[in-house]
A and B are shown apart, each in its own frame.
Chain A
Amino acid sequence: MNAFPLLVHAYRQAPWRIQRRWASAFLLGLVGLAMIAALYLDVTARAAILGREIQSLKADIARLRQENATLQTRLAELMSTYSMEQRARALGYRPVKSTEIHYVIVPGYVRPTSVKLVDTVARPATEALPPEYRQSLLEWFVEYFHSTYGGGDGVSLFTGGLP
């Protein structure tokens, strides 16, 4: 009968061991949380940098479009009627008279009737920004959660849309 308490004592962990186990679990959780926080911070920081880059690129696009318009105008000025006539006269040309022209029949030639000025590459109405550049990690997770497990009406909690 006296052997039973001895057996119980033999299998009980030393208190410091239990405390160390708890402390380890706590620290492990803390490290895990720190890692997630670091990861989140990294993604957020990168998203912020890319966001700024996009804003800067948008500004560049606007500037280049303005420069393009100016260059087109400069080109048109260089090729204006007055400029072209001056250059032609400087090269020794003069306007032709109707009686000086020789007409030649060119089989198969079709005179162009109208000028086409449309862009060959159609531009989309909005420049699509991939979600990677718009979503934070949390937003991605919430969206993933909603799409995988359903729930709610699919509206993100962290909307970045326009008011």
Chain B
Amino acid sequence: MNPFSMRREYAWRSIFVTAWLLLFALVILAQIIRIQRSPEAELFRQQAGEYAMVRRIVYPERGKIYDRKGNLLASNEVVYTVGANMPEVVDKEALAREVSAHLGLRYEEVYERLLNPYGLIFVPLAGFVPAEAAQALRERYEQLWRELEEERPFPLSGLEFRPMLQRSYPENDLASNVLGFFNREGRGIFGVEEKYDSLLAGTPLEIWIPQDPNRVAEIPRVPDGASLILTLDRNLQAAAEETLDWALGEYGARNGTIIVMDPRSGEILAMATAPRLNLNEFWNYDKYYRQAYQFNPAIAMQYEPGSVFKVLTMAAALDSGLVTPSTTFYDTGLIVVGGVPIQNWNRRPWGEQTMQGCLQYSLNVCMAWLSTSMGKETFYGYLQRFGIGRPTGIDLAGETSGRLKLPGDQDWYEVDLGTNAFGQGVAVSPIQMMAAVSAIANKGRMVRPHVLRSIVSDGQQVDIAVEPVGMPIRPETARLLSEMLATSLEREASLALVPGYRVAGKTGTAQIPVEGGYSFTETNVSFVGWGPVDDPRFIIYVWLERPSVSIWAGETAAPVFSEMAQRVVVLLDLPPDAIRLQVSTR
């Protein structure tokens, strides 16, 4: 064959092979396009889109709670859910043995869970495991991992630790009645935790995270829940709780409360009650309390206030112009109101008394005369302006409104006008009583008591403004009454006096209502007082339930007030009156 024809034949063969290859490539290309455009492809693309993203809900860290000086009262700490990733588990017995031994669980229970996972991929074996306990188990896991290097998978394969945040209270039971607690169902219960639950919790964010690392998306930062700065002073709170515990033991009282407030701003500086719950073990709640109000009786309990209420009656009488401090009243020891005789606490007449004397000797007859002389409208009008019969609006969950029967109510009788004047037949809460009397300490102005001082959220701190709620009496009346009460304490050489500081206040010995009347052997005692009289910085309310040592407030609640006030002046850095006046006159 000549070379020319050979070359031609070679060329034809090449073209033939090339054509086939090209055709083959075109067929592949056509098939690719056909598959890409088929209805099934659309379905697969849709499915891929669904699996390309993972939905995740990011929960913000719960906001912290601080006292007024920045000391932490409620925070968060890491705890673990220890569980098994079932597809990786190879030795259920070994896993159950190690987990139960380290976490103090029953082996049978753990093993049972591993045997019957009910279709779960991750089977939780123990929840809310403290970091220390989890660490011990983790170390065991790592030790076995090193020892059994040749054995893969090894016996503890599948063991997982999933971290989460849990509420923690570094001060344990300090101010527990104010703080409340955060339970494991994710709800704030009582106190600040309940009142500001949504603020502390923040806003959870739902996000979709791409599985494809090429499409890594920004995960937006979820702002933490707002942190709260309270008006409480940690040291004052501790002092109040210590004083209350001492008082309960010293006077054999069943229960009690001490509240310390700044009368100018309504800031609660301390609020002590007993018993107190260790908030880190909130599940013991039932062991301490039988009824919800017992968690914080300072705001949730209502009772007959007794003689401290006379302060309000006298304030109304002075402010309405019915009497002046020097107005006299002849006390015969008996007054009949609505057909019911009313007597003094010692059932004796006290003769001619000025209004100063009426307060000093705490005369029921004189007070009933004042209220009846004022008349229903004036007397109850003042009590309502003092906020009696409605909640103060303090920012704590569970406040009671008390009860003030008014003329026209089905259960109001004419005698109530007389008995209400000295604190019987009316129900108040400690915080209500204190808020009302604070108007006298604060030049006639009432402010809403509160525990929240500032909110810290997303890099900003917002301070809570003082909220005035009214002016039930004139400043002049408040000044006069303060002076009368201070003089009363001084003349009586009261156990409530505070060395170096002039204080004003009033005792309250309240008989306890029983079936058909009042108990003669048991009382609730209280004392409300404030100081320094010329420039009040604190007001303290002490209430003790059924003291056994003495039934008189002057012998029980009054010395507790003095003890507390002496600690308050130290912790608030209040110099004695002599030094303070000396400095201010310079």
Contact = CB atoms under 8 A, between A and B. Distances in A.
Interface of A: 44, 47-52, 54-55, 58, 63, 65-67, 69-70, 72-74, 76-77, 79-82, 85, 95-99, 101, 103, 105, 111, 114-119, 122-129, 133-134, 136, 160-163
Interface of B: 49, 53, 61, 64, 66, 68-72, 75-78, 131, 163, 165, 168, 170-172, 174, 207-208, 210, 212-221, 223, 227, 229, 234-235, 238, 453-454, 456, 459-461, 463, 498-501, 566-567, 569-570, 573, 575-576, 579, 583
Nearest to A119: B459
Nearest to A134: B216
Given A63-B163, A66-B78, A98-B569, A73 B168 contact: yes
Contacts of A77: 170
Given A66-B165, A103-B575, 20 more contacts: A49-B213, A50-B216, A51-B213, A72-B64, A72-B72, A73-B75, A81-B238, A95-B567, A97-B566, A98-B501, A101-B575, A105-B583, A116-B461, A119-B459, A122-B459, A123-B459, A126-B221, A129-B218, A162-B53, A162-B208
B582 to A, nearest CB: 10
A69 B61 CA distance: 9
A114 B463 contact: yes
Listed residue (B70, B216, B498, B501) with the most chain A CB atoms within 10 angstroms of its CB: B216
Contacts of A124: 221
A71 to B, nearest CB: 9
Given A44-B214, A117-B456, A98 B499 contact: yes
A44 B216 CA distance: 12
A95 B239 CA distance: 10
B376 to A, nearest CB: 45
A86 to B, nearest CB: 12
Listed residue (B171, B174, B460) with the most chain A CB atoms within 10 angstroms of its CB: B171
Contact of B76 (A73, A105, A125, A134): A73
B570 A133 contact: no
A74 to B, nearest CB: 8
Given A80-B171, A82-B172, A118-B456, A55 B213 contact: yes
A158 to B, nearest CB: 8
B410 to A, nearest CB: 49
A47 B459 CA distance: 33
Contacts of B76: 69-70, 73
A117 B75 contact: no
A25 B66 CA distance: 76
Contacts of B172: 80, 82
Contacts of B575: 101, 103
Contact of B229 (A47, A82, A103, A117): A117
A156 B32 CA distance: 24
Given A117-B227, A126-B218, A160-B215, A70 B77 contact: yes
A133 B220 contact: no
B217 A161 contact: yes
12 contacts: A47-B213, A55-B213, A65-B61, A73-B72, A76-B75, A103-B575, A105-B583, A126-B221, A127-B221, A160-B215, A161-B217, A162-B53
Contacts of B53: 162-163
A99 B579 CA distance: 12
A79 B566 CA distance: 25
B72 A70 contact: no
Contact of B70 (A54, A117, A160): A117
Nearest to A101: B570
A111 B172 CA distance: 30
Contacts of A73: 72, 75-77, 168, 170
B426 to A, nearest CB: 35
B75 A69 contact: yes
Contacts of A162: 53, 207-208, 217
A118 to B, nearest CB: 5
B170 A160 contact: no
A73 B71 CA distance: 11
A81 B169 CA distance: 12
Contacts of A133: 216
A163 B208 contact: yes
A111 B461 CA distance: 20
B75 A160 contact: no
Nearest to B163: A66
Contacts of B131: 70
B87 to A, nearest CB: 21
Nearest to B79: A70
Nearest to A160: B215
Contacts of B501: 98
A51 B220 contact: no
Nearest to B228: A117
B202 to A, nearest CB: 13
Nearest to A52: B213
A81 B174 contact: yes
Contacts of A69: 61, 75-78, 165
The 8 closest A-B pairs by CB, nearest first: A51-B213, A160-B215, A51-B216, A76-B170, A76-B72, A115-B70, A73-B75, A70-B77
A127 B218 contact: yes
A126 B422 CA distance: 62
A99 B499 contact: yes
Nearest to B73: A76
Contacts of A44: 214
A160 B208 contact: no
A162 B64 CA distance: 31
Contacts of B216: 50-51, 54-55, 129, 133-134, 160
Contacts of A63: 163
A74 B75 CA distance: 10
B302 to A, nearest CB: 31
A64 B535 CA distance: 49
Contacts of B238: 81, 85
B500 A99 contact: yes
Contacts of A76: 71-72, 75, 170-171
A25 to B, nearest CB: 16
Nearest to A120: B459
A50 B215 CA distance: 11
B499 A80 contact: no
A51 B214 contact: yes
Listed residue (A47, A81, A99, A162) with the most chain B CB atoms within 10 angstroms of its CB: A81
Nearest to B131: A70
Contacts of A95: 567, 570
Nearest to B241: A81
